[in-house]
Structure 1
């Protein structure tokens, strides 16, 4: 049996809030295979983004075990998690999270430089070209449209060639045309580099393109269904 790329066993997440301890995720058991595209769907507040954060080691599980590429994320400290994400994961957020004082090229080159790649700027330029932004590489985020900023964020996530790509509502702040373009780019990266793609979405059309859809409700998995990806 092939070892899953991601595995969660009885994972739970509780956080301290103003009103006390809040239980966000309960007893999540889930595996994701290499090269699979998994959509996380459900109503607002169901725990979709929190589950994605657990998968990326951006939140620490309160209980259970999470492994990624055979590594136990629940046993890592913050520095180890940061190194693991840098080397193995790409994360795309709804709000882009670009560094405002850096150009598009510098934003994309940053994770490559941190990983010690001597050709960081050459690779960053190639990634910007791949998302159709070679003519905008010297522009700062404030000079770019929302769709262009998300393309830069996607290029930054893809540049280190991650084995796992996580996307949290990647089309949430975009109009229909730009959203469709970002979706095509995401799936193109999966096809081109063989990355495993996990994404949170409210978009039915985006969910239908996934190999599999997991629906959450009240912090629990309510449905896990395999489906034929849209042609």
Structure 2
């Protein structure tokens, strides 16, 4: 019997913009099984990243429910969501989001320290070694290439051993060679730690590496195109 680790039910998202209220997602329902890899694809503006942000509690739904590991994210306040993410989720963004005044080692160790991990720096050092950056531990983000910064971001996301790993266009700012290396690392770390991976991508070829593909268009899931990756 499979276990649902994340469930989205009848969820809508509307945001206020300069031109008024904009409807982003429409009545989205989706279940994610523990341990699977899920690719979210679709044209620009289809709502992929917005859906991922809802899954991570980084954006609040206008209506509907989002349940992760048995917890209703839509019922949590910002502090509760931050603690839940700290304890259960890792997030990798397209733009790295490293703290510029911290070294690579400090960037990876900080979320571990916040979670009360006693050997935070030892574990951070091991994670940097796992992504091939042991020799860059004392470097700051502006001293590293884009590919190296994304490796640090991967190490930071995986170090707390999250149950759920969210990746939003993780190769979007990288060339093909660095992008391929990052994806290999991402899937390798996911398999090593047994996390559930949900990844937004524009690349159909990249999405095919996932167990399942969900396509969005105009803020809606296209159910007839929800399919297992070949």
Length-normalised TM-score, structure 2: 0.98
Partners of 1:16 and 1:142 lie apart in 2 by: 34
> For residue 160 of structure 1, what is the aligned residue in structure 2?
160
> For residue 49 of structure 2, what is the aligned residue in structure 1?
49
Deviations 1:100-145 (A, max 9, x none): 0000000000000000111100000000000000000000000000
Q: Secondary structure of 2:96's match?
A: coil
> For residue 110 of structure 1, what is the aligned residue in structure 2?
110
Q: Does 1:224 align with 2:226?
A: yes
Partners of 1:94 and 1:227 lie apart in 2 by: 23
Q: Does 1:187 align with 2:187?
A: yes
Q: Does 1:24 align with 2:24?
A: yes
Displacement, 1:63? Answer: 0.6
Partners of 1:120 and 1:216 lie apart in 2 by: 39
Q: Secondary structure of 2:122's match?
A: helix
Partners of 2:208 and 2:18 lie apart in 1 by: 38
Q: Secondary structure of 2:16's match?
A: strand
Partners of 2:62 and 2:86 lie apart in 1 by: 23
Displacement, 1:66? Answer: 0.2
Q: Does 1:88 align with 2:74?
A: no
Report which stretch shifted further, 44-53 or 197-206: 197-206
Partners of 1:46 and 1:2 lie apart in 2 by: 29
Partners of 1:159 and 1:42 lie apart in 2 by: 30
Partners of 1:73 and 1:17 lie apart in 2 by: 24
Length-normalised TM-score, structure 1: 0.97
Partners of 1:2 and 1:217 lie apart in 2 by: 28
> For residue 37 of structure 2, what is the aligned residue in structure 1?
37
> For residue 172 of structure 1, what is the aligned residue in structure 2?
172
Query: Number of aligned pairs?
Result: 228
Unaligned runs of 5+ in 2: none
> For residue 205 of structure 1, what is the aligned residue in structure 2?
205
